[in-house]
Amino acid sequence: MKFSAIQIAGMLNGTVEGNPEASITKLSKIEEGEPGSLSFLSNPLYTQYIYSTRASIVIVNKTFSAEHPVGSTLIRVDSADIAFAKLLEVYNQIKNDRKGISKLSSISSSATLGENVYVGDFAVIGENVTLGKNVKIHPQVFIGDNSAIGDNTILFPGVKIYSDNIIGKNCIFHAGTVIGSDGFRFNQQDGKNVKVPQIGNVIIGDDVEMGANCTIDRATFGSTIIRCGVKLDNLVHVAHNVEIGQNTVIAAATGIAGSTKVGKNCMISGHVSMTGHITIADGTILGGATGVSKSLTKPGQAYLGIPAMEVSKFRRSTVLFRNLPELAERISKLEKGQK
């Protein structure tokens, strides 16, 4: 789509400096700007590029003062960062605003679809499924029987929702994510691993986003619960009967074992592992590759290491660990001297 400088300024409550009819059809980095593209400048380290960029329009802060002639049309706003992010959101909405029901999809006659629902090629929607308004079901999505999906939720290609799960409004699940697969639970009987049936479900609140290839297991019985505002990166595994509190964010390749309770507003870095049946307090911060083997009960604390320890203690321990070879050598010399 094509937008003019005056149209963009109207969206952003900005002012145009230059040609108000300058038009763009794409976005670009300021150092890679081409004619017909829109860019922005907020970081002073990139100021040099505004004098050489070929971008047709550049969004800048109102406080920006040019020291040399600028060839691009400028749109001055209170915050170039926030304004550009707003434009990205508008662009994303336009790009993902698909409508219609593909003739190549399979939709049960007992399913209920809200207004303006999109269903792509080879999507399968099971019996007694309920889809809210403006739900986007991309190609090859599977939604199992008796599941419910709230308004404005987007399921990207290849998402699989098993039966009996509940998903809130304004959620985004990226390609390959699986909701409601069986929890990993077996009993030893006569030397064999005998599966324990998993008959619970998954409940996901509003405004939850999951990256590609996440896996959220159904509960053994009861529910695995992901509360409102939770954000998961790619390749996050949440096991059966786990609960994750509001607005917690979890980076890639993290695994949470069964029945663990994670508090609200936690920040969990990549490749963190948590054992089962523990509690993580509200506001906890876990650094990358931290291994949590017992409950962390102090709200707002930061942890690192395996096993997890408070950051200050971890740093002191790291210094000692790095010096272990020298200490071992000194001890060896002392022992030889005694002999």
Active site residues: 240
**Token representation of residue 102:** 């593909």
Contact between 167 and 161 under an 8 Å Cβ cutoff? The reply is yes
Q: Which residues pair with 224 in a beta bridge?
A: 202
Using alpha carbons only, what angle is made at residue 35 by residues 29 and 38, rounded to the nearest 5 degrees?
A: 45
Contact between 216 and 238 under an 8 Å Cβ cutoff? The reply is yes
Classify residue 211 by its DSSP letter: -
Query: How far apart are the two ends of the chain, measured CA to CA in Å?
Result: 84
- Residue 284: other Cβ atoms inside 10 A: 25
Helix (H, G, I), strand (E, B) or coil at 154: strand
Print burial letters for 66-101: b (CB count within 10 Å at least 16), e (below 16).
eeeebebbbbbbeebeebbeebeeeeeeeeeeeeee
Q: How far apart are CA 188 and CA 211, in angstroms?
A: 35
Q: How far apart are CA 190 and CA 286, in angstroms?
A: 40
Computed on alpha carbons and rounded to an integer, the radius of gyration of the chain in Å comes to 26
